[in-house]
Amino acid sequence: MVMMAGVWMMGWMWIWPVFIVAGLLLIGFVVVRLVPGGLTYPTPPRSVGSAARRILYERSARGEFDEDEYRRRRGLWP
């Protein structure tokens, strides 16, 4: 009877490493989420240009005016 209990218990020995790894992953996830600035992506460097040109581009990207109006406002067309 003692032998059977030992063999049966060895069959469940794999579960403890799984619990430990899962616990470490959970702790790591919680720490990363709680740290300010965690998982942020670097912002691209600011392009050379004025703030007005950036605002003009953003408004054009939102669809406030078409490409012809964008070019006119940038001064590319007379």
Average pLDDT score over residue span 61-72: 84
If pLDDT is split at 50, 70 and 90, which confidence band does 1 have?
A: very low
Q: In this structure, which long-range contacts are made by residues 22-27, counting pairs with CB atoms below 8 Å and at least 24 apart in sequence?
A: none
* Residues contacting residue 47 through CB under 8 Å, at least 6 positions apart: 54
Position 8 confidence tier, pLDDT thresholds 50, 70, 90:
low
Per-residue pLDDT tens for 21-51?
999 999 998 888 887 765 555 554 566 567 7
